[in-house]
Amino acid sequence: MKIPKPADGIVWITGASSGIGLALAEAHLARGWTVAVTARRTEPLQALAARFPGRVIVQPADITDADAINAAVAAIEAGQKIARAILNAGTYERDTAETFSAARFRRQVDLNLTGTAICLEAIMPRMIARNAGQIGLVASLAGLAGLPGSGSYSATKAGLIALAESLKFDLDKRGVAISAICPGFVKSPLTAKNTFPMPFLMEADAAANTIIKGLDANTFLIAFPEGLARPLRILRSLPYGVFFPLIARGTKGQD
Ligand SMILES: NC(=O)c1ccc[n+]([C@@H]2O[C@H](COP(=O)([O-])OP(=O)(O)OC[C@H]3O[C@@H](n4cnc5c(N)ncnc54)[C@H](OP(=O)(O)O)[C@@H]3O)[C@@H](O)[C@H]2O)c1
């Protein structure tokens, strides 16, 4: 499996107008990549392009709109081929058993899962046809286990991890790499609204560097920070009689 380098093409990042996506764009630019950026808001994408003249392709689109995403990918690839796609756009809406609503569930499924699927449908066949490329799906540590206050969100992110696992069997035979990216708490406009304690809260640029390190090493599950990811993965493998009380104790104040 050949992991793409800047000489092999460009990187396409969705959700690049703020937070982790913007930091990923900046970190790739710092490493010599040309970057194509997609989000709904045009101004932050153009502001990035103004800072890196000639190295940022601005393609605003809503990832839930298949026609817009297909057109965006076609427009990007009419110039340079996408060697690495990081499908990062997503959202988190808190819910509990008491506040659960199908409408909130649907909003997160539509964006986090179906929106990512729309992007995959636009780029994956092109990479398969070239027998080359790399895809990163931004899930979450909250996709490794159902955590308090995040039922709908955890369901979408667990779905993305399962999707990446399943696709890997086929993509491995086609020379296309795929990773499931599972950040813990990262400073961004998304987490700025959280009022509960966020252990091991990271800066977005540190998260971006960790993600790129994982992608460059073709790590399938890029789960971080270690201090949160490791215990969660161990707890996940234990019987539920141990898992539930320990998670409840560890997340006290978050429910
Ligand atoms: N921050 C964390 O602690 C954390 C932890 C684990 C996983 N994650 C995941 O990381 C990803 C990025 O989150 P973040 O924290 O960086 O949040 P953020 O700053 O709110 O970024 C979300 C990005 O998604 C874009 N977006 C939202 N809806 C879109 C749509 N319909 N079409 C196109 N783009 C859309 C937003 O841009 P526009 O509004 O301009 O469209 C923005 O660029 C998400 O998938 C999130 O679930 C975050």
**C-alpha to C-alpha distance for 79 and 84, rounded to whole angstroms:** 15
Q: Where are the alpha helices (DSSP H) in the chain?
A: 19-30, 42-51, 66-79, 102-108, 116-130, 151-173, 189-192, 204-216, 226-236, 240-250
**C-alpha to C-alpha distance for 87 and 178, rounded to whole angstroms:** 11
Q: What percent of the chain clears pLDDT 90, i.e. is strictly above it?
A: 94
Mean pLDDT of 162-177: 98
- Read off the pLDDT band of 196 (50, 70, 90): confident
Residue closest by Cα to atom 17 of ligand 1: 190
Round the average pLDDT of the chain to a whole number and report it.
96
Residue closest by Cα to atom 7 of ligand 1: 140
Range scoring the smallest mean pLDDT among 15-19, 57-61, 251-255: 251-255
The rounded Å distance from CA 240 to ligand 1 centre is 31
153, 157, 161, 225: the catalytic one is 153
Residues, the chain: 255
**C-alpha to C-alpha distance for 188 and 196, rounded to whole angstroms:** 15
Are 91 and 189 within 8 A, CB to CB? no
Provide the residue type at 45 as one letter. Answer: L
Structure tokens at 63: 């990832």
Amino acid 1: pLDDT: 86
Mean pLDDT of 54-61: 98
Amino acid 193: pLDDT: 86
pLDDT for residue 101 is more than 60: yes
* pLDDT digit string, tens, across residues 130-145: 999 999 999 999 999 9
Task: Please give the angle made by the CA atoms of 91, 95 and 100, to the nearest 5 degrees.
Answer: 120
* pLDDT digit string, tens, across residues 9-57: 999 999 999 999 999 999 999 999 999 999 999 999 999 999 999 999 9
Helix, strand, coil % in the chain, rounded to nearest 5: 50, 15, 30
Are 150 and 92 within 8 A, CB to CB? yes
The rounded Å distance from CA 245 to ligand 1 centre is 31
Which atom of ligand 1 has the smallest separation from the CA of 187? 1
Q: What percent of the chain clears pLDDT 70, i.e. is strictly above it?
A: 99
Whether residue 153 lies in the annotated active site: yes
pLDDT for residue 255 is more than 80: no
pLDDT for residue 254 is more than 70: no
| Residue to mutate, 88, 118, 137, 210, ligand 1, most ligand atoms under 8 Å from C-beta | 88
pLDDT for residue 252 is more than 80: no
**C-alpha to C-alpha distance for 4 and 93, rounded to whole angstroms:** 34
**C-alpha to C-alpha distance for 230 and 248, rounded to whole angstroms:** 17
The rounded Å distance from CA 158 to ligand 1 centre is 16
- Read off the pLDDT band of 253 (50, 70, 90): low
